[in-house]
Amino acid sequence: MSFIVNNSSIANPPGNWSIPFAMAFFAFTCVIPAPAQNNVQDSTTARFGRAANSGEALELFQDVVQHALDEDPYLAEARITRKESVLTYDFRLLQSEVHYSDDNRLTIPLDLLLTSRILERDLAGAFPSESFWRQSLNEMDSILRQFVAVAFAARTNTEWRSAVTKYRQDFDHSVERLDTVLNEYANRNGLDVYKSREPLEGYPVTIQIDPAGAHLQYMRHLEYLLCKTFSVPLDDHWTDLSAGPHFLIGRYRYRAIWPGMAGQPEEANFEVTSKGTIPFKAPKP
Amino acid sequence: MNPGLTHFRQVLKDFKDLSALALKGIVAVPLADLWVKAGPPPSSVIPPLTAAVQFLSIMWVFHAWGSARMTLLTRDMRRSAILFCCGVLLTGVLIAGFTTRPRRDKDRIVHGFIVRDEIRPLISPTYTTADALRDAEFDSFRVWTAVSIVIVHVVLVMSWLLVFVGSACFVTLFIISRRLPAPPSVARGK
């Protein structure tokens, strides 16, 4: 009963981004007219809208990411939280193979940029007066600046592919370093760290909640049974379950507070045995 | 150079003789587990490790048994076959009884044999350790003690290696035995 795992992913495949982000992405890639590019030599070369150089391309990326963060309630959720002496985070789903779904010059830098912005936002929220995490974030910024420059300027597919491999690795190493400094900080300050033990990867599932205003929470079913057996209050063990993509496997206990429904929250089990969509619907009155 | 190792080099270069091909095939077989993921986890490490151990054991057998007599070779072929059978049996039992594969495209999960203290009260005929594992996101460390999981994992890897080393030794000894002159009784019969 000593683990709290945040199963939310930090970044999602573009296919799962919410409508506002998808619209912004569409505007960025399609509607904004692209200038004539002399360097286009293969079909993978992306159009960077009005950007005349890599600096402007980076600014455009940042605008799209900021728009997504402002508009998408899923992305607005904090992935790193600190409550009193407990630090909760999970970097499992930052692994590149999880969230790079579309291998092109727009989505990969956007994914990485989104990840770094979410990390920056959550770290600033969890450690507003500390700067131990800044160096890792600065590293990520530097990597992203170089990566966008390559995405903008690479003339051949081979050049682009080798850059993707290099910068993905560099970015993942920065995340590993951030993980290390977070643990060191927690040790120095006597914080309990709750994070994943790297269990088996779950199935990619999409949680649907209808109506959207409902409040869903869940926990592993084993945790639930232990709380019941040892008469431990359940309240500290629930984790919010948001609509959107998650990686889950096995059986879980959930409770749902439906808007407009009086009385006790609805409680039941659900089991994930394959990938797909898991709908949660309010019971009919 | 040791005559056994000279023979080893000849076998490596030979792509026509059936036994020489079988020897190369035996080293390649464990690499299939990179995709099949039927063996012990992690599947990114164990198959190349198995192939490397097999290769070393083949070299060692050529080196040490390269000029051995037929009676010795026959005896050790029998021992290799026994090792192979024991390995297959033990690996089969461990994989069937102490591993789970909740996702077909992922590695197996290794169980332990000592249930954690806090989990023990939950276990009953109607709620087994398999149920607890499913309820723990298939994280075996939440159900069994770390020591027992590590012991099972190590034994499983050793028995897995035994299967492939046993088979490699058997084939190698067979190849060495084929180079020896035929026994006098057989020669007279011709």
How far is it, in rounded angstroms, from Cα A182 to Cα A133? 7
Residue B32 lies in a domain: yes
Query: Do A85 and A190 form a contact (C-beta atoms < 8 A)?
Result: yes
> Taking chain B, what is the end-to-end CA distance rounded to the nearest angstrom?
34
A222 touches B at CB < 8 Å = yes
Q: Is B143 in Cβ contact with A249 (below 8 Å)? A: no
Residue A42 lies in a domain: yes
In the predicted structure, residue A103 carries a pLDDT above the cut 80: no
| Per-residue pLDDT tens digits for B88-145 | 999 999 999 999 999 888 889 999 999 999 999 999 999 999 999 999 999 998 899 9
Residues A58 and A168 in one domain: yes
Of the given ranges (A96-110, A212-226, B39-53), which has the lowest mean pLDDT?
Answer: A96-110
Residue A5 lies in a domain: no
Residues A35 and A149 in one domain: yes
Residue A139 lies in a domain: yes
Of the given ranges (A36-50, A153-167, B65-79), which has the lowest mean pLDDT?
Answer: A36-50
How far is it, in rounded angstroms, from Cα B4 to Cα B63? 5
Residue B187 lies in a domain: no
Of the three residues A158, A193, A228, the one that is the final residue of a domain is: A193
Residue B188 lies in a domain: no
Look up residue A229 and give its two tokens. Answer: 């057996």
- Residue B140 has what pLDDT? 92
Q: In this structure, how many other beta carbons lie within 10 angstroms of the beta carbon of residue A98?
A: 18
Given the structure tokens 């087994």, which residue do they identify? B128
Residues A28 and A124 in one domain: yes
Residue B120 lies in a domain: yes
Q: How many domains does chain B have?
A: 1
Query: Is there a cis peptide before residue B184, judged by omega within 30 degrees of 0?
Result: no
Query: Do B137 and A4 form a contact (C-beta atoms < 8 A)?
Result: no
Q: Please name the amino acid found at residue B33.
A: D
Residue B190 lies in a domain: no
Average pLDDT rounded to a whole number, residues A196-221? 79
Query: Helix (H, G, I), strand (E, B), or coil: what is residue B75?
Result: helix
Q: Is A202 in Cβ contact with B139 (below 8 Å)? A: no
Count interface pairs A-B at CB distance under 8 A.
Answer: 54
How far is it, in rounded angstroms, from Cα A271 to Cα A220? 10
Q: How many domains does chain A have?
A: 2
From the list A245, A244, A169, A256, the residue with the least C-alpha distance to A202 is: A245
Q: In this structure, how many other beta carbons lie within 10 angstroms of the beta carbon of residue A37?
A: 12
Of the three residues A161, A193, A225, the one that is the final residue of a domain is: A193
Average pLDDT rounded to a whole number, residues A37-64? 67
CATH, residue A222 = 2.60.40
A274 touches B at CB < 8 Å = no
> Taking chain A, what is the end-to-end CA distance rounded to the nearest angstrom?
35
Residues A95 and A132 in one domain: yes
How far is it, in rounded angstroms, from Cα A114 to Cα A95? 14
Residues A187 and A220 in one domain: no
Residues A226 and A182 in one domain: no
Q: Which of the four pLDDT bands, split at 50, 70 and 90, describes residue B76?
A: very high
In the predicted structure, residue A130 carries a pLDDT above the cut 50: yes
Average pLDDT rounded to a whole number, residues A156-168? 84
Distance from CA of A237 to the nearest CA of B (A): 14
pTM above 0.90, yes or no: no
Average pLDDT rounded to a whole number, residues A205-223? 88
How far is it, in rounded angstroms, from Cα A154 to Cα A145? 14
Residue B62 CA neighbour count, 13 Å, CB half: 24
Residues A277 and A154 in one domain: no
Q: Who among A202, A250, A271 is closest to B136 (CB)? A: A250
Residues A212 and A162 in one domain: no
What is the per-residue burial (b if ≥16 Cβ within 10 Å, else e) of B148-158? bbeebbebbbe
Residues A71 and A129 in one domain: yes
Q: What share of chain A is helix, strand, coil (3-state, %, to 5)?
A: 45, 20, 40
Q: Which helix (H) or strand (E) holds A134?
A: helix A134-153
Which residues in chain B have Cβ-Cβ distances shorter than 8 Å to A203?
103
In the predicted structure, residue A33 carries a pLDDT above the cut 50: no
B137 touches A at CB < 8 Å = yes
Model ipTM value: 0.79
Average pLDDT rounded to a whole number, residues A176-193? 86
Which residues in chain A have Cβ-Cβ distances shorter than 8 Å to B132?
222
Query: Do A202 and B115 form a contact (C-beta atoms < 8 A)?
Result: no
* Interface probe with A: pick from B126, B137, B141, B142, most Cβ of A within 10 Å: B137
* Interface probe with B: pick from A92, A203, A226, most Cβ of B within 10 Å: A226
Per the structure, the complete domain to which residue A214 belongs is given by 203-281
Q: Give, as one character, the DSSP assignment of residue B121.
A: G
Distance from CA of A186 to the nearest CA of B (A): 23
Residues A177 and A228 in one domain: no
B188 vs A172, more confident: A172
Q: Which of the four pLDDT bands, split at 50, 70 and 90, describes residue A73?
A: low
Residue B109 lies in a domain: yes
Residues A98 and A162 in one domain: yes
Q: Is A222 in Cβ contact with B143 (below 8 Å)? A: yes
Residue A263 lies in a domain: yes
Closest-CA residue of A relative to B132 is: A222
Per the structure, the complete domain to which residue B8 belongs is given by 3-182
Residues A213 and A111 in one domain: no
In the predicted structure, residue B21 carries a pLDDT above the cut 50: yes
Residue B91 lies in a domain: yes
How far is it, in rounded angstroms, from Cα B53 to Cα B55? 5
Of the three residues A193, A218, A236, the one that is the final residue of a domain is: A193
Q: Which of the four pLDDT bands, split at 50, 70 and 90, describes residue B151?
A: very high
Q: Where are the alpha helices (DSSP H) in chain B?
A: 3-13, 18-28, 33-36, 46-65, 70-98, 129-135, 146-179, 184-189
Residue count of chain A: 285
Portion of chain A with pLDDT greater than 90, in percent: 14
